[in-house]
Structure 1
């Protein structure tokens, strides 16, 4: 299961989980477009990964909620490297609030980044994958693709929605060699999660330490956070799997927080 020489796009890849995936892909000889709102950070990361090799990377400016920006970014990748073999739709944010206080503008923003972003990037890469009769599409879901938690109505809704989209892509793309799967991480200690800790402590009326030990890690088997490297290894597995035997599926990476 090799991705050596494969051409990959990873959204939201200037930092966090996306960067870890891009790094592992380049380490395995892939060419990776680091697509991010922050083009300076994306270009800097791309230069560092290219220097490490053996693959290479380039930074791409991309707002995944903007159809033209997505299409232009994918077009630049195809112009530079010829096609797209792997899409990792990873860009995402988190906003926590009880439903009665959840601003409609925040609801729409959350769904746009997670769901519109997955749809638009998929729509942009599919013609190239269909033309070559091969491709892997990977969505970054969450344990919240399977369960719900207080304060996260929009996030839970969006992450559940990614399962449906991936399964539909799998059904439509199977005969054309395109697979679609979802990674469902537990809590990963990234700036996104660090931001949630004081927010949830305030909303729930508990200490930040209790948020970590009880809310985030209380249901794990070992009290450990999932790491970005754990998620990246899963993304490598999905990208390199060679047949339609593994499509339309989701894989939970959560230290046993959720099991199915």
Structure 2
């Protein structure tokens, strides 16, 4: 098992990409702290990991709440002694053109993605630096590299995560900490499913056209990225044996974006 006895925190892991990574980490031997906005959601993922023979704990964590993040990381260290891997995955979406975008909606998206990632990073690094090793991972997007209409706060936040990842790679090197960002294309999570009718309404096209002509238009094969695709990359990055792989953006998008 590639992550045997590693201690991992994954935020936004009650469903979607975060949950898929959490379950895969459990299968690979990691002890997984599943953090989500509600304890019930986190506990559902924990039960799935445990039923598959893994070890996990549930945390209620609002990543925009400084105290909640600090207490969550402390609970992991109190239970398992250290923190080896942290994945800043929690995220939300909002669909609106810039000229109609409410400031509150702009702030909310940036708060969850970017400020939340900062709080998780700071708390995790303070533990990783104590042990002289660690792996920070960020859930970016192809929108860390490019832009799409109607998603300005999301695009801005994902670009910001790329910068944070690179800064952490520079600072963390002397403490044995690597930092990388995973940039998926469209994955059919609840977050994406919600966007399909929203974009259809805003653009005046059918949901089928949103999928074919907006979401998957620039892929090489017209296919969605899968949860399994992203989880496999997250395992590979966490298991990579040296600092040769740090400060990198790994795009998983069926060729939508090539770098």
Q: Same fold (TM over 0.5)?
A: yes
- Residue 25 of structure 2 aligns with which residue? 25
Q: Is the 8 A contact 2:14 2:41 kept in 1?
A: yes
Could you say which residue in structure 1 is the equivalent of 2:52?
Answer: 52
Post-superposition shift, 1:175?
1.1
Structure 2 CA distance, aligned partners of 1:107 and 1:219? Answer: 27
- Gap runs ≥5 in structure 1: none
Runs of 5+ consecutive residues of structure 2 not aligned to the other structure: none
Q: Which residue does 1:186 correspond to in 2?
A: 185
How far residue 44 of structure 1 moved from its aligned partner, in angstroms, is: 2.2
Shift of 1:45: 1.7
Count residues with an aligned counterpart: 259
Q: Distance in 1 between matches of 2:135 and 2:201?
A: 41
- TM-score, normalised with respect to structure 2: 0.99
Per-residue deviation, 1:43 = 1.1
SS in structure 1 opposite 2:161? helix
Question: Secondary structure at the residue paired with 1:174?
Answer: helix
Matched, 1:150 2:142: no
Assess if the C-alpha contact under 8 Å between 1:186 and 1:254 holds in 2. yes
Cα shift at 1:10? 0.4
- Quick check: 1:134–1:177 contact (8 Å CA) kept in 2? yes
* 1:41 matches 2:38: no
Whole-angstrom CA distance in 1 between matches of 2:41 and 2:150: 30
2:166 — aligned with what?
167
1:87 match: 86
How much is the aligned-residue C-alpha RMSD, in angstroms?
A: 0.9
Residue aligned with 2:242, SS: coil
Query: SS at 2:243's partner residue?
Result: coil
Deviation string 1:107-131 (CA, Å, 9 cap, x unpaired) is 0000000001110001001121111
Task: State whether structure 2 residue 3 is matched by structure 1 residue 6.
Answer: no
Distance 1:247 1:45 in 2: 29
